[in-house]
């Protein structure tokens, strides 16, 4: 079995920060003109690490509600202490180990089918894009879910910075490789580095997002700092974290989990409650912090924005 799952959510409801309290704090920070890092919520300072993030003053970003504002918002403490990040461990309790990740300096290498390969530092990249906040649903293939406020910029903006050739059909993103810190990368049974990708029309869809922040502050290390993919209509394993490489190609890449078990994890990985995982149903999900299961939505509730992408791809395995 390739995924070790721990059932149940150990955090008591009393430990969670309510959505209303988070939103009040967000408006307070904005009105005071302060970076969110200066007013970290209790219990989250450790999760952010000790070093000051030079991008902290960019947050909170202005909210974009075009794609909906699903509720109820998942409490920050739950979304930042129950995490999949296999480079640091195969269970959900990787917060402490993830703090060893150094996110400055951080360089992204751009190559493949582009006008000119180059490298760019994370802060230089942030200076080229317009940050905004979007509240998205997140649906894990393991059937847990959350609703969180990501900050960042459209993947479209990243593509524009990279200047791919018109013949490029896919964008491929890879996670940092650093086995001395990300100790699970020493396990040679896994095809490191973590690799994921999107078709170019998916990448250029308005819903596709690069997250650099979470809950009105720079994104937490355990959630994929300093930048990660967020494709909310797909299962969470598509959302590659701690990106250091962006490549463009005319060949469909083979992603991390697809290499491990292609019969269970495909390239497209779109959410569909009617298509079960080979080992469990995908019809319902359990939100973090809830004791109840709820119905899962087709494309995770974003069909109006993305269903058209697949009209000519019905012969492919779109929902594995």
What is the predicted pLDDT for the residue at 23? 52
**Token pair belonging to 231:** 């494709």
Each residue's pLDDT expressed in tens, for the chain with a length of 320 residues: 444 444 443 444 444 455 555 455 555 444 444 444 333 443 344 444 456 799 999 999 999 999 999 999 999 999 999 999 999 999 999 999 999 999 999 999 999 999 999 999 999 999 999 999 999 999 999 999 999 999 999 999 999 999 999 999 999 999 999 999 999 999 999 999 999 999 999 999 999 999 999 999 999 999 999 999 999 999 999 999 999 999 999 999 999 999 999 999 999 999 999 999 999 999 999 999 999 999 999 999 999 999 999 999 999 999 98
Q: What is the structure's pLDDT at 44?
A: 44
74 token code pair: 């998942």
What is the three-class DSSP state of 17?
Answer: coil
- Give burial (CB, 10 Å; 0-12/13-18/19+) of 83: buried
CA separation for the pair 174, 163 (Å, rounded):
18
């Amino acid at each position: 079995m390739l995924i070790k799952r721990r059932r149940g959510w150990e955090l008591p409801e009393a430990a969670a920060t309510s959505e209303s309290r988070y939103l009040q704090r967000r408006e307070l920070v904005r009105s005071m003109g302060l970076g969110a890092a200066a007013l970290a919520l209790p219990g989250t300072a450790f999760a952010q690490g000790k070093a000051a993030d030079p991008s902290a003053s960019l947050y909170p970003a202005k909210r974009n509600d075009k794609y909906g504002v699903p509720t109820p918002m998942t409490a920050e403490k739950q979304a930042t202490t129950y995490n999949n990040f296999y480079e640091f461990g195969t269970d959900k309790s990787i917060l402490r180990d993830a703090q060893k990740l150094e996110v400055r300096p951080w360089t992204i290498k751009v190559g493949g089918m582009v006008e000119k390969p180059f490298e760019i530092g994370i802060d230089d990249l942030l200076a080229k894009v317009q940050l905004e906040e979007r509240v998205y649903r997140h649906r894990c293939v393991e059937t847990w879910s959350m609703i969180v406020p990501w900050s960042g910029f459209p993947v479209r903006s990243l593509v524009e910075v990279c200047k791919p050739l018109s013949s490029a059909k896919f964008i491929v993103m890879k996670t940092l490789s650093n086995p001395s810190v990300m100790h699970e990368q020493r396990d040679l049974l896994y095809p490191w580095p973590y690799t994921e990708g999107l078709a170019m029309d998916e990448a250029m869809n308005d819903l596709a997002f690069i997250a650099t922040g979470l809950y009105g502050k720079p994104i937490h290390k355990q959630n994929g700092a300093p930048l990660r993919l967020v494709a909310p209509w797909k299962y969470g394993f598509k959302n590659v974290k701690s990106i250091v490489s962006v490549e463009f190609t005319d060949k469909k890449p083979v992603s991390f989990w697809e290499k491990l078990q292609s019969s269970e994890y495909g390239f497209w990985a779109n959410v569909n409650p009617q298509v079960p995982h080979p080992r469990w149903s995908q019809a319902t999900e359990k939100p973090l912090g809830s004791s109840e299961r709820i119905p899962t939505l087709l494309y995770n509730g974003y069909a109006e924005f993305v269903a058209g992408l697949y009209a000519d791809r019905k012969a492919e395995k779109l929902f594995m």
